[in-house]
Chains A and B, each alone.
Chain A
Amino acid sequence: MDDLDVNLTRGTLDLLILKALSWGPRHGYAVSDWIGQATGSALQLGEGTLYPALHRLERQQLVVAEWGLSENNRHAKYYRLSAAGRRRLQTGVSSWHRFVEAAANALRATAPVPAA
């Protein structure tokens, strides 16, 4: 992958993680599962890629991590959105939509110079 793809993916992945956590605390595995199902496994990420992203979000204080017990009684690290994380999700989603729309428009273009 070249740099452009990485950046695109990373920003998108962050957004997806925040979205996954918007319904409440989850551990990393659950986040990974949700992303897989929600995207129909279209993103083809190594599941491990998720974790650095999660830890980075934690460092940026967008998510808060706590150790807790999982549904099958194992020690698991749970992540939840901080207030700042929730705000970032909102702004992130709307700018992502703008970005996709603009990019899609541009990609649909039929002439070298946009009509005046």
Chain B
Amino acid sequence: MTDDRTRRPFRLALGAKHLKRDVDQEIEFHIAMRTQALVDQGLDAETARARAIAQFGDSAAVREECVTIDTQRSRAVTAAERLSDIRQDIAYALRTLHQNPAFACIVILILALGIGANTATFSVIDALMLRPLPVSHPEGLVTIGDPQATHRLSKGTPESDIASYPGYADLRDGNHVLAGLYATGMTSRLDVVIDQTPASTQPGPTEAEHPHGRFVTGNFFAVLGVGAIAGRTFAATEDRVTGADPVVVISYAYWRNRFARDPAAVGRPVIINGARFVIVGVAAPDFTGDIVGQPTDVWIPITMQPVVMPNSPWLAKRDVSWLLLMGRLAPGVSLETARASLRVLETRSLLENAGAERRYLETALRDKPLQVGPGARGFSYYRAAFASAMFTLTAAVAMVLLVVCANVANLMLARATARGREISVRIALGAGRMRLVQQLLTESAVLAIMGSACGLLVAWWGSTAILRLAAAGPKPIPVDVRLDWPVVAFTIGLSIATTLLIGLVPALRATRSDVASALRTQGRDSGVETTHGGRLPLGKGLVIAQVALSMLLLVGTGMLVRSTERLEHADVGIARDQLIIAEVAAQRSGYTDARMNSLVRDLMARAAAIPGIAAVSVSENGIFSGTESATSVQVEGFTARVDSDTAVMYDDVGPGYFNAVGAHILRGRDFEARDNESAAKVMVINESMARFFFPHGDALGRHITADSAVWAVVGIVGDARTNDVRETPSRRMFVPIVQMRHPPGTFRVELRTGGDPARLVDAVRRALMASDPSLVVTDVSPLSSLIRESLAEDHLVAKVVSFFGAIALVLSALGLYGLMAYATARRTTEFGLRMALGAEPGAVIRMVLAEAMALAGSGIVIGLPVAVAASQLIRGRLFHIGVFDPPSIGIAVIILAITAAVAAYLPALRASSVAPLAAIRAS
């Protein structure tokens, strides 16, 4: 007998009142007994009692001490009992789930899907938007400039978003608010050859590889507080003299993948773009740079930039903005103080060196002052680019989880109802309601926890899937998604919420049962529904909710898919489906000004000779290539009201450009071969530019001053969207590429094909290389795939939301099926009677189907206005689709109706095949 622990068969109240009463009673008993004993010895009753009380001593003190001790004991007992209750409940839950493994598996699977989808989305959000950089004291870091400008390179008028090297030096040397300020800059593609020493473990030919590099100032690692796991990081002095420090630090990942963690990698020479460097160290394992989503493999001292990129030395140039700046606040300096101080410094630095652009810069800085923000999370292009996508996804997965919970709650309800008699008996025997609710909730919790555990696995796979879907190319966005503690905490929170959502209502409902009636029905059916009409309406409500939520997701899916389709096939103003764009890095291949023009002509001639090519031209900036040029112009007879009025986009292009890309010349002419270096300078402007500068007259023949030269307008071309399908076309001008003072170092060849451009990609590459085998042709792609890449985010959202829509649909179908199967099984007798009385099986089927349709219909009717309202939230993502989109709604309704019919058909069929006699006899 476990007599050491008081285990009470019935739970009695252990209140303070009880304890006091018991102690009083005990003391009173003692005094009474002693009095009696004294009376027996011959004392009179009064004297005896007084003597007994005196012998007892200070009874008030005794009483108090006893009550204190008992209170402590009762607390310990209650705690122990509660613990043992929980243990019992868990054991009981596991036992009942084990008795019904199919139920448990289905519920866990469904929950895993719902929780996993949410965790996956959250883990991506965590990695992209929440997690601080793995550096020491990230909270002290500040970004200076635009933290999203990780892809930007701007030549021309300096700006405050990104910095030039002299501009960086001004801020670094002039400020008193930062303990340190470093700069990092993008590299061109690196051709890295790792020297094959005899000791090398990497056999094979020395072929160039192309790790991701970044130029950094010498204090980069020191400011971040990142150490080396092997060798050393840079010394602050390793950016003093241009070209003097041929050293690199590599990332842990590169060290692991390329050198198999060989300690001898430190000290190895490497050839980067033809120049000899030495690896001096490997950075700490977690550290992949300060840009989230763009891990760096190789860090190079910034003063080596002219050595690595000899054709574009940027160090001395104030008009080349290419650097991201990050500082560490000096002790005691607030972000606001630093921001104010750095703005003053930045303005002075830019204006003192501005020259002719001073006025423009003043306006620009007033409109858009220097950004100084918290730098703990580093820089990221993806953070901003995918913020709205992640928001849409979060909404979608939250809805999926709600559908999941409604579904599981329904299953739990059915289970609790099936156990109605057991529960009634236990209530009749005196079990507390809260105790039973706790027991039923424990079962939900066990399911939710198992579901969450499996959900973490789903999330692990799912987050990679999201990043893979989001990336344009075959590789996922390289974000380090981990199931770290914020993610796990999020999942735990979800599982608690899920437990309550799936368990609380069924548990309360089941234990509300009226004891007498439940016992009377002998447990053949639960008393719950007959007495309260409870189970069916609640179950119905949950199914309707699922259908309504599915409606929401399906309508959203329809709108996003249709919007993406429209984006992909939108008319951008050029022959988008016939173009191939090839990128030629001529300068890297050794071509300079004079030879460049002949290269352009040679390439055009070769490309035009490819069978299947209808027209060829070239341009500096491509179409959907991500590069863009802007300048300011003076137009005769036009007075600018604000400085930005003079800003235009421009491109320098080859002869026959507009014909080649399929743009529409509205007036005037295309460029021709006669517009050469020695001919008069001419330009073609687009419709927007013509309307803006010449609202009343004809633009043709007018003159525009740009780049210190005067150009005559010879043509007006229709507006085209050449960077983003969604963009509003801006004012844009085109000049002949050969009339530029300096031809561009990289240009694109545009080829219009007769048929499918994808088939000609190889032929184009061969033809271009045939001109000069050493020519660097970096990319040859059909325009349609470039456009598709620019729509990666839309694809991601459409695909993922479709996927979740499908999940919700399947779950709703399961829910509806379960409900109908249950309802028809309960009415076996009724169907039997109907058939006995002559009802056709078809009539029974129609009856059951009609009920299912009524449920689905209610869900649709409730979901429709909600869906239309919710579309407002994704309005920003939609392209040429209104927030009320009848096709999407129609499709959603049809899909839901068909799903409902399919889900109800099997139960209907079963109902119609009831043998009348058997059914009646069974009752």
- A83 / chain B contacts, CB cutoff of 8 Å: 3-4
- Stretch from B65-73, B610-618, B841-849 forming part of the interface with A: B65-73
Known contacts A48-B27, A82-B3; A29/B34 CB under 8 A: yes
Distance of A89 from chain B, by nearest CB (Å): 15
Interface size on B, residues (CB 8 A): 29
Q: Does A112 contact B (CB under 8 A)?
A: no
Distance of B29 from chain A, by nearest CB (Å): 5
Inter-chain contact B32/A55, CB cutoff 8 Å: no
With CB as the reference atom, state the residue of chain B lying closest to A85. Answer: B4
Considering only residues 25-43 of chain A, those with a C-beta below 8 Å from chain B are 27-29, 32
Distance of B3 from chain A, by nearest CB (Å): 5
* Known A32-B30, A47-B34; 16 more pairs at CB < 8 Å: A29-B34, A46-B55, A48-B62, A49-B57, A51-B30, A51-B65, A55-B65, A56-B69, A59-B70, A59-B72, A59-B73, A61-B5, A64-B6, A74-B32, A77-B25, A83-B3
Distance of A65 from chain B, by nearest CB (Å): 9
11 A-B residue pairs with Cβ-Cβ distance under 8 Å, sorted by A, are A29-B29, A32-B30, A47-B55, A48-B59, A51-B23, A52-B69, A59-B72, A61-B5, A64-B3, A76-B29, A77-B25
Cβ contact of B66, chosen from A46, A55, A70, cutoff 8 A:
A55
Inter-chain contact A51/B4, CB cutoff 8 Å: no
- A29 / chain B contacts, CB cutoff of 8 Å: 29-30, 33-34
Q: Does B593 contact A (CB under 8 A)?
A: no
Inter-chain contact B69/A77, CB cutoff 8 Å: no
Q: Does B851 contact A (CB under 8 A)?
A: no
- A27 / chain B contacts, CB cutoff of 8 Å: 29
Q: Does A58 contact B (CB under 8 A)?
A: yes
With CB as the reference atom, state the residue of chain B lying closest to A81. Answer: B3
Distance of B27 from chain A, by nearest CB (Å): 7
Distance of A6 from chain B, by nearest CB (Å): 13
Max chain B Cβ within 10 angstroms of own Cβ: one of A46, A58, A83 = A46
- A64 / chain B contacts, CB cutoff of 8 Å: 3, 6
Contact string against A for B residues 46-82, beta-carbon threshold 8 Å, 1 for contact and 0 otherwise: 0000000001111101100110011011001000000
Inter-chain contact A51/B26, CB cutoff 8 Å: yes
- B286 / chain A contacts, CB cutoff of 8 Å: none
- B34 / chain A contacts, CB cutoff of 8 Å: 29, 47
Inter-chain contact B22/A77, CB cutoff 8 Å: yes
Q: Does A97 contact B (CB under 8 A)?
A: no
Distance of A25 from chain B, by nearest CB (Å): 12
- A72 / chain B contacts, CB cutoff of 8 Å: 36
- A51 / chain B contacts, CB cutoff of 8 Å: 23, 26-27, 30, 62, 65-66
Inter-chain contact B4/A61, CB cutoff 8 Å: yes
Distance of B389 from chain A, by nearest CB (Å): 62
Contact string against B for A residues 44-80, beta-carbon threshold 8 Å, 1 for contact and 0 otherwise: 0011110110011011010010000010101111000
- A52 / chain B contacts, CB cutoff of 8 Å: 62, 65-66, 69
- B62 / chain A contacts, CB cutoff of 8 Å: 48-49, 51-52
With CB as the reference atom, state the residue of chain A lying closest to B29. Answer: A76
Name the 9 nearest CB pairs between A and B, nearest first. A46-B57, A48-B57, A48-B62, A59-B73, A52-B65, A55-B69, A29-B33, A48-B56, A29-B30
Interface size on A, residues (CB 8 A): 25
Q: Does A84 contact B (CB under 8 A)?
A: yes
- A55 / chain B contacts, CB cutoff of 8 Å: 65-66, 69-70, 73
Contact string against A for B residues 8-36, beta-carbon threshold 8 Å, 1 for contact and 0 otherwise: 00000000000000110111011011101
- A70 / chain B contacts, CB cutoff of 8 Å: 29, 33
- B30 / chain A contacts, CB cutoff of 8 Å: 28-29, 32, 47, 51
- A28 / chain B contacts, CB cutoff of 8 Å: 26, 29-30
Q: How far is the CA of A59 from the CA of B70 in the complex (A)?
A: 7
Distance of A90 from chain B, by nearest CB (Å): 16
Inter-chain contact A84/B27, CB cutoff 8 Å: no
With CB as the reference atom, state the residue of chain B lying closest to A64. Answer: B3
With CB as the reference atom, state the residue of chain A lying closest to B69. Answer: A55
Inter-chain contact A82/B57, CB cutoff 8 Å: no
- A84 / chain B contacts, CB cutoff of 8 Å: 4
- A75 / chain B contacts, CB cutoff of 8 Å: 25, 29
Known contacts A55-B66, A55-B69, A59-B72; A46/B33 CB under 8 A: no
- A61 / chain B contacts, CB cutoff of 8 Å: 4-5
Max chain B Cβ within 10 angstroms of own Cβ: one of A47, A61, A83 = A47
- A74 / chain B contacts, CB cutoff of 8 Å: 29, 32
Distance of B543 from chain A, by nearest CB (Å): 53
- B76 / chain A contacts, CB cutoff of 8 Å: 59
Contact string against A for B residues 748-780, beta-carbon threshold 8 Å, 1 for contact and 0 otherwise: 000000000000000000000000000000000
Distance of B221 from chain A, by nearest CB (Å): 62
Distance of B7 from chain A, by nearest CB (Å): 11
Distance of B814 from chain A, by nearest CB (Å): 52
Q: How far is the CA of A84 from the CA of B1 in the complex (A)?
A: 12
Distance of B232 from chain A, by nearest CB (Å): 64
Distance of B50 from chain A, by nearest CB (Å): 14
Inter-chain contact B56/A46, CB cutoff 8 Å: yes
Q: How far is the CA of A76 from the CA of B3 in the complex (A)?
A: 20
Contact string against A for B residues 642-653, beta-carbon threshold 8 Å, 1 for contact and 0 otherwise: 000000000000
Inter-chain contact A46/B25, CB cutoff 8 Å: no
With CB as the reference atom, state the residue of chain B lying closest to A62. Answer: B4
Q: How far is the CA of A90 from the CA of B36 in the complex (A)?
A: 35
Cβ contact of B73, chosen from A47, A48, A58, cutoff 8 A:
A58
Distance of A5 from chain B, by nearest CB (Å): 16
Distance of B495 from chain A, by nearest CB (Å): 37
Q: How far is the CA of A86 from the CA of B235 in the complex (A)?
A: 75
Considering only residues 538-554 of chain B, those with a C-beta below 8 Å from chain A are none
- A49 / chain B contacts, CB cutoff of 8 Å: 57, 62
With CB as the reference atom, state the residue of chain B lying closest to A84. Answer: B4
Q: How far is the CA of A49 from the CA of B30 in the complex (A)?
A: 12
With CB as the reference atom, state the residue of chain B lying closest to A36. Answer: B55
- B61 / chain A contacts, CB cutoff of 8 Å: 48
With CB as the reference atom, state the residue of chain B lying closest to A76. Answer: B29
Contact string against B for A residues 8-28, beta-carbon threshold 8 Å, 1 for contact and 0 otherwise: 000000000000000000011
- A47 / chain B contacts, CB cutoff of 8 Å: 30, 34, 55-57
Q: How far is the CA of A56 from the CA of B70 in the complex (A)?
A: 8
Known contacts A27-B29, A29-B30, A29-B33; A82/B4 CB under 8 A: yes
Distance of A71 from chain B, by nearest CB (Å): 10
Q: How far is the CA of A47 from the CA of B56 in the complex (A)?
A: 4
With CB as the reference atom, state the residue of chain A lying closest to B5. Answer: A61
Q: How far is the CA of A41 from the CA of B29 in the complex (A)?
A: 21
Distance of A48 from chain B, by nearest CB (Å): 4
Q: How far is the CA of A32 from the CA of B33 in the complex (A)?
A: 11
Distance of B179 from chain A, by nearest CB (Å): 60
Q: How far is the CA of A49 from the CA of B65 in the complex (A)?
A: 10
Q: How far is the CA of A45 from the CA of B51 in the complex (A)?
A: 15
With CB as the reference atom, state the residue of chain B lying closest to A31. Answer: B30
Q: How far is the CA of A28 from the CA of B65 in the complex (A)?
A: 16
- B25 / chain A contacts, CB cutoff of 8 Å: 75, 77
Distance of B701 from chain A, by nearest CB (Å): 107
Q: How far is the CA of A96 from the CA of B4 in the complex (A)?
A: 24
- B5 / chain A contacts, CB cutoff of 8 Å: 61
With CB as the reference atom, state the residue of chain B lying closest to A58. Answer: B73
With CB as the reference atom, state the residue of chain B lying closest to A80. Answer: B3
Considering only residues 59-114 of chain B, those with a C-beta below 8 Å from chain A are 59, 61-62, 65-66, 69-70, 72-73, 76
Known contacts A48-B62, A64-B3, A64-B6; A59/B69 CB under 8 A: yes
Q: How far is the CA of A49 from the CA of B22 in the complex (A)?
A: 17
Q: How far is the CA of A61 from the CA of B76 in the complex (A)?
A: 11
Inter-chain contact A46/B29, CB cutoff 8 Å: no
- A46 / chain B contacts, CB cutoff of 8 Å: 55-58
Distance of B58 from chain A, by nearest CB (Å): 7
Contact string against B for A residues 76-111, beta-carbon threshold 8 Å, 1 for contact and 0 otherwise: 110000111000000000000000000000000000
Distance of B852 from chain A, by nearest CB (Å): 61
- B32 / chain A contacts, CB cutoff of 8 Å: 74
Distance of A40 from chain B, by nearest CB (Å): 16
Q: How far is the CA of A28 from the CA of B76 in the complex (A)?
A: 23
- B22 / chain A contacts, CB cutoff of 8 Å: 77
